[in-house]
Amino acid sequence: MQRMLRLVLAAIGFAGGLVVTAAAADPIRVNFVPISDGLPLFVAEDQGFFDKRGLDVELTAAPNPSVMIGAIASGSAEVGHTVLIPVLSAWQAGIELSVIAGASAFPSVQPPAVGVLARNGTDIKAPKDLEGKTVGVVGLQSYHQAMVQRWMSENQSDYSKVRFVEVPFPQMQDLLASGNVDAVVSVDPFYSKMIREGAGYDFGDFVATMPDGAPIVIFVASRDWAEANPDAVKGFRDALAEAAEFIKANDAEARKSFAKWTKLPEKVVATSRWGTFQSDVPATGIQYWIDTMKDQGMLSSDVKGEDLVPSYLR
């Protein structure tokens, strides 16, 4: 219906001498993870901020950030909602991606809405206590795994002694309660729900030493697509920026979008919290993650932060 309307408008514009942009001739298929970091995306779609800029955006939910790379590489999506760890791993494998916009960044909400939760009944009280334990993360060699490893290193602990296993966010509570994992790394709304329902307990703030401005969740596209579509990229980023401002002033409407796109229970939506939304991603923020991955032996590529920023956004 939306594309048909645009065709009608284009015909009217041709007949009446109006100028109608062709920026939205092709849809921008965006894969997203249904978590709080995606809120600006949800709001931009529901409030018409993409339409306002002539963009036809189609949203599709995905189970975790790591699958975004495959979707973009296969051509089944133009944009993915992910974190920099798998993006940089893709660069190392020869898949060049561009960061076209940001979603969330540090500082995160306080008290934290993300962290490591230990199973009730365990003796885990500090990062070092994770040695010899099994820890569930949403993806192996992922952002959350890198964060745990960084946190353990800062606290003189050996993360090589941890067994990391992949667990989707919705399944973390059940696997924690059953004893299949000793701890999980989760994010709201799942994180707060597990604490509230007594499934696990937080034993330290693993984001406390993260530098302000460091990106958390970002939006990426193939480098070729980003360079070929500068107007679409700028419009997409500007729509997210407008959505971030809207969220600040319209909490009730923002929560409606959050409920719609995450399909979470009303009680969970009502108590969910979010931190800093940032549509720009400076090269320095990307470089922070490059350095972190190299420190952990996760990256050997000579890629630099500016390599991932489209030329017209530098």
Quick check: 20 pLDDT over 90? no
The total of other beta-carbon atoms located within 10 Å of residue 195's CB is 16
Q: Are strands 134-137 and 183-187 parallel, antiparallel or unpaired?
A: parallel
- Write down the pLDDT at residue 25: 55
What is the model's pTM?
0.82
159 contacts 153 by C-beta, under 8 angstroms: yes
| Spatial distance between the Cα atoms of 158 and 174, rounded to a whole number of angstroms | 27
Which domains does the chain show, CATH number per domain? 2-106+212-313 (3.40.190.10), 114-202 (3.40.190.10)
Out of 71-80, 267-276, 299-308, which region has the weakest mean confidence (pLDDT)? 267-276
| Spatial distance between the Cα atoms of 55 and 110, rounded to a whole number of angstroms | 34
> How much is the mean pLDDT over the chain?
89
Partnered with residue 276 across adjacent β-strands are: 105
114 contacts 194 by C-beta, under 8 angstroms: no
Average pLDDT over residues 197-225: 93
| Spatial distance between the Cα atoms of 233 and 254, rounded to a whole number of angstroms | 23
Quick check: 66 pLDDT over 80? no
Out of 189-193, 227-231, 295-299, which region has the weakest mean confidence (pLDDT)? 189-193
pLDDT tens, 126-164? 999 999 999 999 888 889 999 999 999 999 999 999 999
pLDDT tens, 88-119? 999 999 999 999 999 999 988 778 888 999 99
pLDDT: which is higher, 65 or 95: 95
| Spatial distance between the Cα atoms of 57 and 286, rounded to a whole number of angstroms | 25
- Write down the pLDDT at residue 64: 77
